[in-house]
């Protein structure tokens, strides 16, 4: 009985932590965070998108409509070999990620417009510089 009682609180904390990953963490525009050990930022609008600090991120995921105009307000989920790593909501058209070079990750993204299908892509961080991945949502307006 003592072991069961000690096990339950640890299991409850693990269950809460796992369910928290499923809900996107809201990233305000032009802010950085570390989620699950991964650096992530939301930007891409106005002069702040040119801030040199954004170049420190290995991967830039951009969101665009069929005419290549930027879309803002999206949810992005990043998964690796071990499952879901993070889920964020961004107010801008770019989500930046600091990822280990050479490893492939799955990105699933949705724009917050009704009736717009989600998109998936594989992203890999380069050994130098920043890789740019554009997710196009042709049914967005």
Q: Which band of pLDDT confidence, cut at 50, 70 and 90, is reported for residue 129?
A: very high
Residue-wise pLDDT for 82-113, tens only, equals: 999 999 999 999 999 999 999 999 999 999 88
State residue 22's pLDDT score.
61
How many structural domains comprise the chain? 1
- Residue 28 within a domain: yes
- Residue 11 within a domain: no
Buried b (16+ CB within 10 A) or exposed e, 86-112: bbbbbbbbbbbbbbeeeeebebbbbbe
- Residue 111 within a domain: yes
Instruction: Please give the structure tokens belonging to residue 20.
Output: 């928290």
Mean pLDDT within 63-88: 95
How many residues comprise the chain? 141
State residue 122's pLDDT score.
97
- Residue 123 within a domain: yes
* pTM for the model: 0.82
- Residue 6 within a domain: no
Residue-wise pLDDT for 18-61, tens only, equals: 444 468 999 999 999 999 999 999 999 999 999 999 999 999 99
Domain that holds residue 108: 23-137
- pLDDT at residue 9 tops 80: no
State residue 5's pLDDT score.
45
CATH number at residue 79: 2.60.40.10
Instruction: Please give the structure tokens belonging to residue 65.
Output: 């409509």
- Residue 38 CB partners (closer than 8 Å, separation 6+): 78, 85, 86, 97, 98, 99
- Residue 7 within a domain: no
Q: Which residue has the higher pLDDT, 140 or 13?
A: 140
125 within 8 A of 58, measured Cβ to Cβ: yes
């Amino acid at each position: 009985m003592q072991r069961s009682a000690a096990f339950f609180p640890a299991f409850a904390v693990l269950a809460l932590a796992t369910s928290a990953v499923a809900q996107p963490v809201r990233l305000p525009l032009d802010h950085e965070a570390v989620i699950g050990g991964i650096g992530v930022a939301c930007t891409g609008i106005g002069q702040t998108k040119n801030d040199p600090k954004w170049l420190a991120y290995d991967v830039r995921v951009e969101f665009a409509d069929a005419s290549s105009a930027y879309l803002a307000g999206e949810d992005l989920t990043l998964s690796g070999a071990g499952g879901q790593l993070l889920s964020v909501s961004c107010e801008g058209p770019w989500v930046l990620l600091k990822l280990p070079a050479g490893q492939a990750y799955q990105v699933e993204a949705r724009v917050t417009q009704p009736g717009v299908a989600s998109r998936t892509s594989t992203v890999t961080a380069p050994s130098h510089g920043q890789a740019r991945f554009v997710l196009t949502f042709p049914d967005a307006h």
